[in-house]
């Protein structure tokens, strides 16, 4: 299922002019023994010479864990909208390179799941369990590590206009219009199916953000990222300039695993040796980022400026995102002491909800084992209290 167009947020009208950098084409399916002869490390004998990640959006703090893999030496390919350099773990070269490609407009808003099957150089892509499960028959993928414990998807509104509203459900009594974007998402169908919102509340037009929300002067609510838009509206949109209030879709009873790193189903076996060593590095990289994010955020901001797609991202906005991820438990160990693992019962809940409420979804016979695996997770790696 394609990502909702409301994710195409905060695009400026004029793209930045940037110089074109040079970067060799990544070769994710190379024999690992073809890695540079003068480099060795924990991954050099088991992983592709270049481990390629396909992001689902432009550089942002929600992707901080994978950008943390880059050290001080990297190259930016402005034409390809990618960054590449040695893949680092604990300050040490692992013996292979990492390449991170962005999503969004440069790939025609295609899902990482689809791109994994178009380009076999890509090893990892970002996926959302309840969204990729509905296209498993065409492009089967398996999540191997959950970068976020909760989804940042939320609905937010003006507390001055609706002072009594504490939850998304409270907007239903006054039939508040919710700007959802043009693509119907599975969690939107869940909200309607469970009666949290009414069909009449949904605005499915591809109305531009933030102009439409601002123009409504508080009358409308909007769907977006709780880690981004609230800061943007209060601090960066002068025409608004005040707080908004919101609720996570997760807190309505829809426990999405968001920003999960997925691989092609066949690679769970074919690249087992690589995944066994690399997934714990990904767990630790997310922890390292969330506990010391300043340098990685500087890189993220630099990339947004260099790529020049029109996506705007500020240092203050990036920092707000990290703090919101921490404060709201978006990055956490969940119910155990491990970051990045999956609860099969929670995945089954998602399967049941999609089966019941997603109109065009055929997930009959799908099990949690078809969608996620903890096989490569190191249970000892987690955030410390």
Over the stretch 349-358, which tens digit does the pLDDT of each residue have?
Answer: 999 999 999 9
Say what percent of the chain tops pLDDT 70.
90
The predicted structure's pLDDT at residue 209 = 87
Tell me: pLDDT of 45 over 90.
Answer: yes
CA dist list (Å): 259 to 125, 219, 285, 319: 9, 31, 14, 18
Q: Which residues on adjacent β-strands are paired with residue 76?
A: 83
**Between 86 and 27, the higher pLDDT residue:** 86
- Residue 26 tokens read as 């990544």
Tell me: pLDDT of 332 over 50.
Answer: yes
- Please, which pLDDT band fits residue 360 given cuts at 50, 70 and 90? confident
Mean pLDDT, all residues of the chain: 90
**Alpha-carbon span 318 to 100, nearest angstrom:** 18
**Between 385 and 378, the higher pLDDT residue:** 378
The predicted structure's pLDDT at residue 21 = 35
- Residue 181 tokens read as 């974007």
**Between 10 and 182, the higher pLDDT residue:** 182
Distance of CA 29 to the CA centre of its chain: 24
Tell me: pLDDT of 19 over 60.
Answer: no
**Alpha-carbon span 150 to 135, nearest angstrom:** 22
The predicted structure's pLDDT at residue 207 = 85
- Please, which pLDDT band fits residue 206 given cuts at 50, 70 and 90? confident
Say what percent of the chain tops pLDDT 90.
85
The predicted structure's pLDDT at residue 177 = 98
Segment 141-145 shows an average pLDDT of 98
- Please, which pLDDT band fits residue 105 given cuts at 50, 70 and 90? very high
Tell me: pLDDT of 116 over 50.
Answer: yes
Segment 230-234 shows an average pLDDT of 97
The predicted structure's pLDDT at residue 38 = 60
Segment 215-230 shows an average pLDDT of 96
Interaxial angle between packed helices 315-327 and 272-291, expressed in degrees from 0 to 180 and rounded to the nearest 10: 100
Is residue 105 a contact partner of residue 337, using CB atoms and an 8 Å limit? no
**Alpha-carbon span 41 to 35, nearest angstrom:** 11
**Alpha-carbon span 130 to 125, nearest angstrom:** 15
pTM: 0.89
The predicted structure's pLDDT at residue 12 = 33
**Alpha-carbon span 123 to 51, nearest angstrom:** 6
- For the chain, list the domains and their CATH numbers: 12-148+258-371 (3.40.190.10), 153-252 (3.40.190.10)
Segment 233-239 shows an average pLDDT of 97
Is residue 350 a contact partner of residue 90, using CB atoms and an 8 Å limit? no
CA dist list (Å): 72 to 26, 69, 295, 297: 19, 10, 10, 13
Is residue 82 a contact partner of residue 101, using CB atoms and an 8 Å limit? yes
| Dihedral pair phi/psi, residue 232, rounded to 5° | -60, -45
Tell me: pLDDT of 385 over 90.
Answer: no
The angle formed by the CA atoms of residues 120, 378 and 373, to the nearest 5 degrees, is: 50
CA dist list (Å): 374 to 43, 65, 263, 344: 20, 18, 13, 9
Segment 246-261 shows an average pLDDT of 96
Tell me: pLDDT of 73 over 90.
Answer: yes
Tell me: pLDDT of 186 over 60.
Answer: yes
**Alpha-carbon span 271 to 28, nearest angstrom:** 12
**Alpha-carbon span 87 to 47, nearest angstrom:** 11
Q: What is the 3-state secondary structure (H, E, C) of the chain?
A: CCCCHHHCCCECCCCCCCCCCCCCCCCCCCCHHHCCCCCCCCCCCCCCCEEEEECCCCCCHHHHHHHCCECCCCEEECCCCEEEEEEEECCEEEEEEEEEECCCHHHCCCCHHHHHHHCCCEEEEEECHHHHHHHCCCCCEEEEEECCCCCCEEEEECCCCCCCCCCHHHHCCCCCCEECCCCCCHHHHHHHHCCCCCHHHEECCCCCCCHHHHHCCCCCEEEEECCCHHHHHHHHCCCCCCCCEEEEHHHHCCCCCCCEEEEECCHHHHCHHHHHHHHHHHHHHHHHHHHCCHHHHHHHHHHHHHHCCCECCCHHHHHHHHHHHHHCCCCCCCCCCCCCCCCHHHHHHHHHHHHHHCCCCCCCCCCHHHHECCCCCCCCCCCCC
Hunting for tokens 């990055």 — which residue is that? 331
| Dihedral pair phi/psi, residue 122, rounded to 5° | -75, 130
Segment 240-250 shows an average pLDDT of 98
């Amino acid at each position: 299922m394609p990502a909702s167009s409301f994710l195409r947020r905060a695009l400026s009208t004029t793209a930045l002019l940037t110089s074109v950098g040079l970067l060799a084409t990544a070769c994710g399916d190379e024999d690992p023994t073809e890695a540079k002869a003068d480099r060795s490390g924990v991954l050099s004998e088991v992983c592709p010479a270049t481990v390629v990640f396909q992001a689902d959006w432009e550089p942002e703090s929600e992707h901080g864990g994978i950008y943390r893999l880059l050290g001080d030496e990297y190259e930016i390919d402005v034409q390809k909208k990618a960054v590449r350099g040695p893949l680092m773990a604990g300050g040490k070269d692992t013996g292979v390179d990492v390449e991170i490609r962005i999503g969004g407009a440069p790939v025609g808003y295609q899902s990482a799941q689809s791109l994994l099957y178009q380009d076999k150089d890509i090893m990892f892509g970002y996926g959302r369990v309840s969204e990729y499960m509905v296209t498993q028959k065409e492009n089967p993928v398996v999540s191997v590590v959950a970068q976020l414990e909760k989804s940042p998807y939320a609905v937010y509104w003006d507390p001055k206009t609706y002072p009594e509203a504490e939850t998304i459900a409270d907007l239903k009594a006054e039939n508040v219009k919710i700007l959802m974007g043009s693509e119907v998402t599975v969690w939107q169908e869940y909200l309607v199916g469970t009666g949290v919102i009414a069909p009449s509340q949904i605005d499915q037009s591809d109305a531009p953000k933030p102009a439409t929300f601002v123009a409504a002067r508080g009358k409308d609510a909007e769907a977006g990222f709780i880690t981004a838009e609230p800061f943007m509206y209060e601090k960066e949109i002068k025409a608004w300039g005040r707080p908004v209030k919101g609720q996570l879709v997760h807190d309505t009873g829809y426990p999405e695993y968001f920003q999960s790193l997925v691989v092609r189903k066949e690679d769970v076996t074919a690249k087992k040796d690589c995944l066994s060593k690399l997934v714990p590095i990904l767990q630790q990289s997310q922890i390292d980022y969330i506990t010391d994010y300043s340098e990685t955020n500087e890189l993220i901001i630099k990339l947004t400026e260099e790529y020049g797609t029109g996506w705007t991202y500020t240092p203050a906005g990036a920092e707000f995102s990290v703090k919101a991820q921490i404060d709201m438990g978006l990055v956490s160990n969940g119910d155990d002491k491990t970051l990045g693992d999956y609860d099969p019962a929670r995945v089954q809940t998602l399967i049941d909800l999609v089966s019941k409420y997603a109109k065009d979804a055929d997930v009959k016979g799908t099990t949690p084992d078809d969608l996620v695996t903890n096989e490569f997770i190191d249970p000892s790696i987690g955030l410390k209290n």
